[in-house]
Structure formats: structure tokens, C-alpha cells
Structure 1
Amino acid sequence: MRDSASRVELTLLPGMLPFLPLALIDHQFSRAWIFAAVWFVAWTIFASWRYLRYLKEISIKGDRHFDRVGKYDLPPEYADSESATAARQRRKR
């Protein structure tokens, strides 16, 4: 789990880099602030989108593992159960 959290921190770092030189500038408001803010928002949206895709991929892999192996570790009356992903795909068909 720590690996996933460190990926998020490293992914958000490029979004904060434009603010670094602004810390040294003594101006109250400039175009650089606008650029840095727009860049930060755009990068955060992009990084969040990628992270949500990553979480969905991990969820699907976990559900596939449950369907192949995990459900047979449960008591026999649960052996015919299915994962949430399998149920969603069945309902779509």
C-alpha cells in the first residue's frame, strides 16, 4: 500500500514545480502565478485521472484472481459466487 501512496506523491510533484521559482519572486501578482496555478490544476486533473485508471486496473486484477482462485478458499456454499466485476459484465450482456 505504501508503494501506491508514494506514486501519488511523485506524480503530483511535477504539478508543483512551477511554484518553486515563485517562492523567490517578491511580486504579489504576475503572469507566472497564473501560469503556475493553471499548470497545477491541469496536472492534478491528469494525475487524478491516471490514478483512477490505475485503481480500476488493480480492482479488475483482484476480482479476476478471486474468480479463479479466491472463491474456492471460502466455504463450499460460497464457491459459486462471483466478483463484482464479473457481475457487472454479466449485467451488461
Structure 2
Amino acid sequence: METVEQLVSFHHIQVQLSGGAPWGFTLKGGLEHGEPLIITKIEDGGKAALCKKLKVGDELININGSALYGSRQEALILIKGSYRILKLAVRR
């Protein structure tokens, strides 16, 4: 269980990527593995790198306004369903 201090210390960052896939980042973890969804790689020169907001280690918590419940499969479906704009919220 997270303490109030831990919850308050998180920064939530809103990111918007445009232009369509590939978005230029890799996810690891998920409910299936008992881990949070974490960004593990950002491709040099990719859309995620160009926005300069995402960082390796960020936890993905929302895609296009849909709260994530931790499933990597769910996240991938939402990401792949984003044709021109991808809006992410991450916790750092």
C-alpha cells in the first residue's frame, strides 16, 4: 500500500504524440507479469524522443483518456488504435 507521501511525490505528466505509428517507445511489465507498465526504451529520433517529455522508467497510467488497469495487452490495443494522435499520461 502506498503512503500519502509516496502518492503526493509522484508527478503526472501529459504527453501528446502526433503523426501516427510507430510511436518510438517500448513497454514492459503489466498485470500479466505482476508489474506496472513501464517505458523501457525510447527510440532515438522517434516521435516519443522528439516530444522530449517521456523518459525511460515512466509508468504508463492513461492512454487517450482511458485509465489503464495494468494489462499490457489492453495498452497495446489502445496504442495500436491511435492513428494520428496518441495522448499518454505517465507517472514518474
TM-score band, normalised by shorter chain: under 0.3
From the CA coordinates, give the structure whose radius of gyration is larger.
1
Higher RCO (C-alpha 8 Å, min separation 6): 2
Provide the TM-score with structure 1 as the length reference.
0.21
